[in-house]
Amino acid sequence: MKDSYRHKGLRGKLIKVLQEKGIQDEKVLAAMSKIPRHLFLDNAFEEWAYKDVAFPIGSEQTISQPYTVAFQSQLLKIKKGMKILEIGTGSGYQACVLAELKGKVYSIERQQSLFIKTSKLLPEIGYNSIRTLFGDGYLGAPKFAPFDRIIITASCPEIPEALKEQLAIGGKLVAPLGSQEKQTMVRLTRLSENDFHLEPFGKFAFVPFLKGVVKVD
Ligand code: SAH
Protein backbone atom coordinates (compact mmCIF):
# COMPACT_ATOMS: atom_id res chain seq x y z
CA MET A 1 0.00 0.00 0.00
CA LYS A 2 1.48 3.30 -1.08
CA ASP A 3 0.67 6.96 -0.89
CA SER A 4 -1.29 8.39 -3.83
CA TYR A 5 -2.96 11.55 -5.09
CA ARG A 6 -6.22 10.23 -3.74
CA HIS A 7 -4.73 9.89 -0.26
CA LYS A 8 -3.22 13.37 -0.54
CA GLY A 9 -6.65 14.72 -1.41
CA LEU A 10 -8.22 13.00 1.59
CA ARG A 11 -5.46 14.40 3.77
CA GLY A 12 -6.17 17.90 2.51
CA LYS A 13 -9.80 17.47 3.58
CA LEU A 14 -8.75 16.23 7.02
CA ILE A 15 -6.50 19.29 7.47
CA LYS A 16 -9.51 21.50 6.66
CA VAL A 17 -11.56 19.71 9.31
CA LEU A 18 -8.78 20.25 11.88
CA GLN A 19 -8.67 23.96 11.01
CA GLU A 20 -12.43 24.22 11.40
CA LYS A 21 -12.10 22.62 14.84
CA GLY A 22 -9.60 25.31 15.86
CA ILE A 23 -6.13 23.96 15.08
CA GLN A 24 -4.17 26.98 13.89
CA ASP A 25 -0.50 26.05 14.13
CA GLU A 26 0.68 26.07 10.50
CA LYS A 27 3.66 23.84 11.23
CA VAL A 28 1.49 21.18 12.84
CA LEU A 29 -0.98 21.30 9.95
CA ALA A 30 1.85 21.09 7.41
CA ALA A 31 3.37 18.11 9.26
CA MET A 32 0.05 16.27 9.32
CA SER A 33 -0.60 17.01 5.65
CA LYS A 34 2.60 15.14 4.78
CA ILE A 35 2.13 11.93 6.75
CA PRO A 36 0.32 9.02 5.04
CA ARG A 37 -1.91 8.07 7.99
CA HIS A 38 -3.41 5.13 6.06
CA LEU A 39 -0.07 3.32 6.37
CA PHE A 40 -0.56 3.13 10.15
CA LEU A 41 -3.81 1.16 9.88
CA ASP A 42 -4.42 -2.34 8.54
CA ASN A 43 -5.32 -2.30 4.82
CA ALA A 44 -8.94 -3.20 5.49
CA PHE A 45 -9.48 0.03 7.42
CA GLU A 46 -7.85 2.33 4.91
CA GLU A 47 -11.03 4.32 4.38
CA TRP A 48 -10.99 5.32 8.07
CA ALA A 49 -7.51 6.77 7.93
CA TYR A 50 -8.53 10.30 7.03
CA LYS A 51 -11.60 10.64 9.19
CA ASP A 52 -11.13 12.59 12.39
CA VAL A 53 -11.59 9.58 14.67
CA ALA A 54 -9.45 7.34 16.89
CA PHE A 55 -9.10 3.80 15.57
CA PRO A 56 -8.12 0.36 17.00
CA ILE A 57 -4.61 -0.78 16.03
CA GLY A 58 -4.55 -4.17 17.83
CA SER A 59 -3.41 -5.16 21.32
CA GLU A 60 -6.46 -3.22 22.60
CA GLN A 61 -4.80 0.07 21.66
CA THR A 62 -5.77 2.93 19.42
CA ILE A 63 -4.18 5.39 17.04
CA SER A 64 -5.19 8.75 18.56
CA GLN A 65 -7.78 10.92 16.83
CA PRO A 66 -6.08 13.37 14.42
CA TYR A 67 -7.57 16.33 16.31
CA THR A 68 -6.02 15.05 19.56
CA VAL A 69 -2.63 14.53 17.88
CA ALA A 70 -2.80 18.06 16.46
CA PHE A 71 -3.88 19.53 19.81
CA GLN A 72 -1.06 17.91 21.79
CA SER A 73 1.50 18.73 19.08
CA GLN A 74 0.37 22.36 19.07
CA LEU A 75 0.68 22.65 22.86
CA LEU A 76 4.25 21.35 22.76
CA LYS A 77 5.54 24.36 20.74
CA ILE A 78 8.38 22.35 19.22
CA LYS A 79 11.44 24.01 17.78
CA LYS A 80 13.94 22.45 15.41
CA GLY A 81 16.37 20.03 17.05
CA MET A 82 14.56 19.73 20.38
CA LYS A 83 14.90 16.41 22.16
CA ILE A 84 11.42 14.93 22.61
CA LEU A 85 10.23 11.92 24.59
CA GLU A 86 6.91 10.33 23.69
CA ILE A 87 5.25 7.90 26.09
CA GLY A 88 3.04 5.41 24.24
CA THR A 89 4.40 4.81 20.72
CA GLY A 90 1.32 2.85 19.66
CA SER A 91 0.99 3.10 15.88
CA GLY A 92 3.89 5.54 15.63
CA TYR A 93 1.78 8.24 13.99
CA GLN A 94 2.27 10.87 16.70
CA ALA A 95 6.02 10.16 16.70
CA CYS A 96 6.10 10.93 12.96
CA VAL A 97 4.31 14.24 13.55
CA LEU A 98 6.99 15.12 16.13
CA ALA A 99 9.71 14.11 13.65
CA GLU A 100 8.12 16.26 10.92
CA LEU A 101 8.24 19.15 13.39
CA LYS A 102 12.01 18.54 13.34
CA GLY A 103 12.31 17.14 16.83
CA LYS A 104 14.79 14.45 17.80
CA VAL A 105 12.27 11.83 18.84
CA TYR A 106 12.48 9.04 21.41
CA SER A 107 9.32 7.02 21.91
CA ILE A 108 8.55 4.33 24.49
CA GLU A 109 5.97 1.53 24.23
CA ARG A 110 5.15 -0.99 26.97
CA GLN A 111 3.60 -3.62 24.68
CA GLN A 112 6.34 -5.53 22.95
CA SER A 113 4.10 -6.68 20.07
CA LEU A 114 3.30 -3.06 19.19
CA PHE A 115 6.90 -2.00 19.75
CA ILE A 116 8.10 -4.63 17.25
CA LYS A 117 5.44 -3.79 14.66
CA THR A 118 5.97 -0.02 14.83
CA SER A 119 9.78 -0.19 15.02
CA LYS A 120 9.67 -2.07 11.71
CA LEU A 121 7.13 0.25 10.07
CA LEU A 122 8.74 3.63 10.78
CA PRO A 123 11.97 3.16 8.76
CA GLU A 124 9.96 1.47 5.98
CA ILE A 125 7.94 4.65 5.47
CA GLY A 126 10.95 6.95 5.70
CA TYR A 127 11.13 7.85 9.40
CA ASN A 128 14.62 6.57 10.17
CA SER A 129 15.48 9.05 12.86
CA ILE A 130 12.83 8.08 15.43
CA ARG A 131 14.34 6.07 18.26
CA THR A 132 11.79 3.52 19.52
CA LEU A 133 12.25 2.00 22.96
CA PHE A 134 10.55 -0.96 24.64
CA GLY A 135 9.87 -0.27 28.29
CA ASP A 136 7.68 1.24 30.97
CA GLY A 137 7.03 4.90 30.27
CA TYR A 138 6.49 5.55 34.00
CA LEU A 139 10.28 5.32 34.24
CA GLY A 140 10.97 7.52 31.22
CA ALA A 141 14.29 7.14 29.42
CA PRO A 142 16.93 8.37 31.90
CA LYS A 143 19.73 7.34 29.57
CA PHE A 144 18.67 10.01 27.07
CA ALA A 145 17.46 12.70 29.49
CA PRO A 146 17.02 15.64 29.84
CA PHE A 147 14.25 16.22 27.30
CA ASP A 148 13.06 19.58 26.00
CA ARG A 149 9.60 18.16 25.51
CA ILE A 150 7.69 15.15 26.86
CA ILE A 151 4.33 13.99 25.54
CA ILE A 152 2.25 11.33 27.26
CA THR A 153 -0.32 9.72 24.96
CA ALA A 154 -2.13 7.63 27.59
CA SER A 155 -4.31 8.94 30.42
CA CYS A 156 -2.39 9.45 33.66
CA PRO A 157 -3.87 9.91 37.15
CA GLU A 158 -0.77 11.95 37.98
CA ILE A 159 2.43 12.94 36.21
CA PRO A 160 5.19 10.49 37.18
CA GLU A 161 8.04 12.06 39.18
CA ALA A 162 10.60 10.33 36.94
CA LEU A 163 9.24 12.22 33.93
CA LYS A 164 9.29 15.56 35.75
CA GLU A 165 12.91 14.91 36.67
CA GLN A 166 13.79 14.12 33.05
CA LEU A 167 12.35 17.41 31.81
CA ALA A 168 14.95 20.09 31.03
CA ILE A 169 14.59 23.41 32.85
CA GLY A 170 12.40 25.52 30.57
CA GLY A 171 11.02 22.29 29.09
CA LYS A 172 7.35 21.40 28.61
CA LEU A 173 5.37 18.22 29.21
CA VAL A 174 1.90 17.67 27.73
CA ALA A 175 -0.38 14.96 29.13
CA PRO A 176 -4.05 13.97 29.56
CA LEU A 177 -4.44 14.10 33.33
CA GLY A 178 -7.11 12.17 35.22
CA SER A 179 -8.37 8.69 35.96
CA GLN A 180 -11.97 9.20 34.84
CA GLU A 181 -13.41 8.42 31.42
CA LYS A 182 -12.41 11.91 30.31
CA GLN A 183 -9.15 13.61 31.15
CA THR A 184 -7.99 17.23 31.18
CA MET A 185 -5.15 18.04 28.82
CA VAL A 186 -2.44 19.81 30.75
CA ARG A 187 0.87 21.45 29.93
CA LEU A 188 3.51 21.44 32.63
CA THR A 189 6.44 23.84 32.23
CA ARG A 190 9.57 23.36 34.33
CA LEU A 191 10.52 26.85 35.52
CA SER A 192 13.51 25.85 37.66
CA GLU A 193 14.89 22.80 39.45
CA ASN A 194 11.87 22.63 41.78
CA ASP A 195 9.21 24.92 40.26
CA PHE A 196 6.63 23.80 37.77
CA HIS A 197 3.74 25.69 36.17
CA LEU A 198 0.59 23.76 35.20
CA GLU A 199 -1.93 24.98 32.59
CA PRO A 200 -5.19 23.13 31.89
CA PHE A 201 -6.78 22.82 28.45
CA GLY A 202 -9.82 20.88 27.15
CA LYS A 203 -11.21 17.41 27.87
CA PHE A 204 -10.01 14.32 26.01
CA ALA A 205 -10.37 10.53 26.26
CA PHE A 206 -7.26 8.34 26.15
CA VAL A 207 -6.47 4.68 26.80
CA PRO A 208 -4.91 4.17 30.27
CA PHE A 209 -1.26 4.68 31.18
CA LEU A 210 -0.43 1.25 32.66
CA LYS A 211 2.55 0.17 34.73
CA GLY A 212 5.05 -2.49 33.67
CA VAL A 213 5.57 -4.07 30.26
CA VAL A 214 3.80 -6.80 28.26
CA LYS A 215 6.22 -9.18 26.55
CA VAL A 216 5.62 -11.37 23.52
CA ASP A 217 5.81 -15.09 24.49
N1 SAH B 1 0.85 7.87 20.33
C2 SAH B 1 0.05 6.75 19.84
C3 SAH B 1 -1.22 6.60 20.65
C4 SAH B 1 -1.24 5.26 21.22
S5 SAH B 1 -2.43 4.91 22.45
C6 SAH B 1 -0.24 6.88 18.38
O7 SAH B 1 0.09 7.90 17.77
O8 SAH B 1 -0.76 5.94 17.78
C9 SAH B 1 -1.40 4.86 23.90
C10 SAH B 1 -0.24 3.89 23.89
O11 SAH B 1 0.38 4.01 25.18
C12 SAH B 1 -0.62 2.44 23.76
O13 SAH B 1 0.08 1.85 22.71
C14 SAH B 1 -0.23 1.81 25.11
O15 SAH B 1 0.23 0.48 25.02
C16 SAH B 1 0.88 2.75 25.54
N17 SAH B 1 1.17 2.76 26.98
C18 SAH B 1 0.31 2.70 28.03
N19 SAH B 1 0.99 2.70 29.19
C20 SAH B 1 2.33 2.79 28.87
C21 SAH B 1 3.54 2.82 29.64
N22 SAH B 1 3.56 2.73 30.96
N23 SAH B 1 4.71 2.93 28.95
C24 SAH B 1 4.75 2.98 27.60
N25 SAH B 1 3.63 2.94 26.83
C26 SAH B 1 2.44 2.84 27.46
Tell me the pLDDT tens digit for each residue of 139-148: 999 999 999 9
Distance 32 CA to ligand 1 centre (A): 20
Distance 206 CA to ligand 1 centre (A): 9
Residue nearest to atom 23 of ligand 1 (CA): 137
Task: Return the best residue to mutate from 98, 134, 153, 166 for the ligand 1 pocket (most ligand atoms within 8 A of CB).
Answer: 153
Predicted TM-score of the model (pTM): 0.97
Q: Mean pLDDT throughout 3-7?
A: 92
Q: Which of 94, 90, 89, 107 is nearest to 67 (CA)?
A: 94
90 touches 61 (CB < 8 A): yes
Phi, psi of 81 (to 5 degrees): 85, -5
91 belongs to the catalytic site: no
Write out pLDDT tens, residues 107-132: 999 999 999 999 999 999 999 999 99
CA–CA dist 58, 90 (Å, integer)? 9
Q: Mean pLDDT throughout 179-207?
A: 96
User: Domain 54-204 falls in which CATH fold?
Assistant: Rossmann fold (3.40.50)
> Which residue in the list 4, 59, 64, 119 is annotated as catalytic?
64
- The half-sphere exposure of 67 on its side-chain side, counting CA atoms within 13 A, is 17
75 touches 185 (CB < 8 A): yes
Q: pLDDT band at 83, cuts 50/70/90?
A: very high
Write out pLDDT tens, residues 38-63: 999 988 788 889 999 998 888 888 89
Q: pLDDT band at 1, cuts 50/70/90?
A: low
Give Cβ neighbours of residue 203 (< 8 Å, ≥ 6 apart).
182, 183, 184, 185
Residue 64 has pLDDT above 70, yes or no: yes
Q: Give the percent of the chain with pLDDT over 70.
A: 100
Domain limits of the chain? 54-204
Task: Return the best residue to mutate from 89, 115, 134, 139 for the ligand 1 pocket (most ligand atoms within 8 A of CB).
Answer: 89
